[in-house]
Amino acid sequence: MTVLVSLLLVTDHDRDQAGVDPAPLGPAVAASGRPSTGGSAAASVTPVVPRPESVAVPADTAVAARPGPAEAAQAKRGRSGPLFRPAAEPAVAGAVTPEVAHLRLGDADQPAAGVQVRAGMPRGLPIAAGAGGLRGDRETRTLGLRQADTHVFSAVGVTWTGDPAARVSVAVRSRVPGQGWTGWRAVGAATADRDPDDRPADEPAHQPTDRAARDPVAADRQEAAPAWRQGADLLWLGAADAIEVQVSASRKAGLADFAVDLIDPRSAPGDAAAGRPATGATPGSGAVPMPPIARRADWGADERLMDWTPGYGRPVQAVVLHHTATATDYQPADVPRMLRTIYYFQAVSRGWGDIGYPVLVDRFGRLWEGRYGGLARPVVGAHASGFNRVATGIALLGDFDRTAVPPAAVDAIGRYAGWKLSLAPTAVHPWSSVKVTSEGGTSRFRAGTAVTLPRVLPHRQTSDTGSPGDRGVAALGAIRDAARKYMGDRTEPSTMRPRLGVWRPSDATWRVRGSADPVLHGWVGDLPVAADFDGDGSGDPGTWTASTGRWRIANSGGGTLEQYTLGRPGDRPIPADYNGDGRAEPAVWRESDGTWWLGVGPPTQWGVAGDVPVPGDYDGDGRADIAVYRPGEGMWHIRGGRTIRLGEANFLPLPADYDGDGTTDPAAWSPVTGRWFLPGRVPSKYGEPGDTPVPAQYDGDGRADTAVWRNGDWNIRKHGSVTFGQPGDVPIVLA
């Protein structure tokens, strides 16, 4: 019997009290491109962004789930350039929209009103590291502006257009309210770490925007300005009510359209309570737990500023360490404000569409979600040009050139690196190296260059930058040691990687190998569902009650229980990550009319009565595709035009990634002969009539293994057997 598994933890007092007839444990299919659980399509195991709230809607209505990045970006299509003043009222409760004053400098040939142009650099003005050659360059020009009539702000960011490799020195001093002027501080050009091919396929390199309607300065940028701007390192000032800026560059570089953004991230009531130290995960065997990571909603991200559709690369091969080069003497309540500032500067001022770093860590050891798209997913960042598709990044909040990285931050980075590397399809060791190919961009390595990099490396190893600072580099050994400790035996290829679970219909309990007691109680007649609803890279147990359409999901990452209402008797639960946000969404397939209720928008018709829904990421775009298997003819119908014949009449569909390329492969198993039909392979026998097929990535080779479950014995091809469960159980692989 093909079973859809979607994980959830339910306690006794959470059980339904209504006297409803139990729904029969009928066939269902696990959704996603992950290995199959319980003999069905794989449960979607993906990462997270703002935590959904419990909702209840009529059985025929799709659950009001969070919008995906594709929908958010589509709403903004046609205004791909930077935004200026976002609407005053945030679209999401708790979001905080920064207030920004935009000052135009122009350039040496066409300075803006009030801007002074000087030949060379003024005496006594500090110069940024790496820009010393500007002092002896006869073509050096300095643009100066003093602005005293402004609201109180916390940070200053300078941007321009032109060659990303050009030398620029920015000197800034500010006036502290009630105290007077500070001394001068100098920063240089920051690396342009968003790669040119990171934009969505439907987004041109440059579009005119509607910014001019709100910002007169934008009218001057409509013709030739690129969507992305170069920029200096962001300066965090704390509080200032006046600014003086001196920007020096050579006329030969051809830089233009210099501008200054004075950013006030504003304060919010939740700033002081946001975030928690990344503690609690214990090293050992089995899956490496995701450390606590505060989500974007926790630091008040206004998602309307995001104008980027998340892209997904290959499984993470390395972790790049950065620092933000901002102030290091901040307090815990300052961190959300600093994150909102970095978000605005990178997403809007520089036109990247989102914050570039996947994750950030403060000096107190608290981890914060950065880039949208899913924490456990290989989201393409904008942090290590040339390697964004194979490496994730984590940024230390502060300047760690001369300041030592606090032990709490070292431990938190190690936890994150260990967890992220453990999600790779092949076993990796944080002290090992990996050979990757540069994709060019602003990397130190030309496109096509093969480079051997440490698994945990400093940003300066791939780009011309000082990041993560000398003391940040010095901490890398301790970070690798911490990652190794928290990975436990996950670094060994022979380690059994997934958690094994069973759903026991007789008493409606979930049981997981290694736990003496049930981890979840449901009602007899419930259907088990298993998918990564919270995006931590591990399956979350859940149940679905057909008579009420009620979903109960226990998030393994945060230990919270979420509830939804979606579906009616006769439906099949098919959770998967359909919108690409990194988390599985509750969804059902209605066999009576072949409609898919995906939680967002109207239902989609695909399939006919008798089909088996087999959603999965067949094209590798990071989103589950709608697909059905037609048992009577052995045909796979994947929405978008693909039709594949694989299998024969009444075979069981078992989609999973059998070749390790990161996409879902159609596959089928004969319950009569025990033969497996995999794409590009000769059919082979493994299993007997009455077995339940349970393919999954059991070892560290990156490919789903063929396996069957037989009355409590998990028989894994080439790896022997494991005993867990009893006759009558439904086997479930919690990847």
Each residue of 685-695: pLDDT tens digit? 999 999 999 99
Instruction: For residue 134, give the 3-state DSSP assignment.
Output: helix
The answer to whether residue 2 scores a pLDDT higher than 60 is no
- Structure-model confidence comparison of residues 11 and 461, the more confident one: 461
CA-wise closest residue to 35 among 672, 544, 551, 732: 732
Please give the average per-residue pLDDT across 551-557, as a whole number: 77
Please give the average per-residue pLDDT across 88-112, as a whole number: 84
Q: For 536, which DSSP code?
A: B
Whole-number pLDDT of residue 276? 62
The answer to whether residue 217 scores a pLDDT higher than 50 is no
The answer to whether residue 190 scores a pLDDT higher than 80 is yes
- Structure-model confidence comparison of residues 206 and 361, the more confident one: 361
- Structure-model confidence comparison of residues 19 and 481, the more confident one: 481
Whole-number pLDDT of residue 225? 34
The answer to whether residue 279 scores a pLDDT higher than 90 is no
The answer to whether residue 70 scores a pLDDT higher than 50 is no
DSSP 149-198: S---EEEEEEEEES-TT--EEEEEEEEETTTEE---EEEEBPP--S-GGG
Token digits of residue 545: 């009650």
Please give the average per-residue pLDDT across 571-580, as a whole number: 92
Whole-number pLDDT of residue 281? 41
Whole-number pLDDT of residue 558? 57
Please give the average per-residue pLDDT across 53-70, as a whole number: 32
- Structure-model confidence comparison of residues 97 and 43, the more confident one: 97
Please give the average per-residue pLDDT across 203-230, as a whole number: 40
Containing H/E element for 359?
A: strand 359-361
Cα 39 → chain centroid = 29
Token digits of residue 557: 């990452």
pLDDT bucket at 91, cuts 50 / 70 / 90? low
Whole-number pLDDT of residue 201? 35
- Structure-model confidence comparison of residues 345 and 165, the more confident one: 345
Token digits of residue 511: 């049981």
Whole-number pLDDT of residue 697? 84
- The full set of domains in the chain, from first to last, is 99-192+228-264 (2.60.120), 293-491 (3.40.80.10)
Please give the average per-residue pLDDT across 111-117, as a whole number: 94
Please give the average per-residue pLDDT across 659-674, as a whole number: 92
pLDDT bucket at 203, cuts 50 / 70 / 90? very low
Please give the average per-residue pLDDT across 517-534, as a whole number: 87
353-372: per-residue pLDDT in tens?
A: 999 999 999 999 999 999 99
Whole-number pLDDT of residue 224? 29
Helices (H) and strands (E) in the chain, counts: 6, 43
Whole-number pLDDT of residue 46? 25
Whole-number pLDDT of residue 559? 65
Share of the chain above pLDDT 90, in %: 54
The label of the residue with tokens 């569902």 reads: 529
Sheet holding 561-565, edge to edge: 527-531, 540-545, 550-554, 561-565
pLDDT bucket at 195, cuts 50 / 70 / 90? low
pLDDT bucket at 333, cuts 50 / 70 / 90? very high
697-724: per-residue pLDDT in tens?
A: 887 677 889 999 999 999 999 888 889 9
Please give the average per-residue pLDDT across 158-186, as a whole number: 94
Whole-number pLDDT of residue 84? 30
**CB neighbour list of residue 75: distance below 8 Å, 6 or more residues apart:** none
Whole-number pLDDT of residue 145? 94
Whole-number pLDDT of residue 352? 92
List, in sequence order, the alpha helices (H) in 319-406: 335-344
Label the pairing between strands 684-685 and 595-597. unpaired
CA-wise closest residue to 108 among 133, 146, 143: 143
pLDDT bucket at 82, cuts 50 / 70 / 90? very low
Cα dihedral 202/354/345/237 (nearest 10): 180
pLDDT bucket at 286, cuts 50 / 70 / 90? low
pLDDT bucket at 223, cuts 50 / 70 / 90? very low
Q: How many CA atoms lie within 13 A of 13 on its CB side?
A: 1
Alpha-carbon gap, residue 322 to 395, rounded angstroms:
4
Please give the average per-residue pLDDT across 654-660, as a whole number: 91
pLDDT bucket at 7, cuts 50 / 70 / 90? very low
Whole-number pLDDT of residue 211? 33
CA-wise closest residue to 326 among 313, 315, 341: 341
Alpha-carbon gap, residue 449 to 135, rounded angstroms:
35
Whole-number pLDDT of residue 557? 59
The answer to whether residue 80 scores a pLDDT higher than 60 is no
Is the Cα torsion angle 375, 376, 379, 384 positive or negative in sign? positive
458-506: per-residue pLDDT in tens?
A: 999 999 888 999 999 999 999 999 999 998 877 776 555 677 889 999 9
CA-wise closest residue to 645 among 664, 621, 666, 624: 666
pLDDT bucket at 94, cuts 50 / 70 / 90? confident
Please give the average per-residue pLDDT across 624-633, as a whole number: 93
**CA angle in degrees (0–180, nearest 5) for 580-583-584:** 95
Alpha-carbon gap, residue 553 to 10, rounded angstroms:
8
Question: Of 284-293, 434-443, 518-527, 644-653, which gets the smallest average pLDDT?
Answer: 284-293
Whole-number pLDDT of residue 491? 73
125-139: per-residue pLDDT in tens?
A: 999 988 888 998 999
The answer to whether residue 645 scores a pLDDT higher than 70 is yes
376-408: per-residue pLDDT in tens?
A: 888 999 999 899 999 999 999 999 999 999 999
Whole-number pLDDT of residue 727? 94
Alpha-carbon gap, residue 155 to 545, rounded angstroms:
52
Alpha-carbon gap, residue 433 to 461, rounded angstroms:
13
Average pLDDT along the chain: 80
In three-state form (DSSP H/G/I as H, E/B as E, the rest C), the secondary structure along 457-474 is EEHHHCCCCCCCCHHHHH
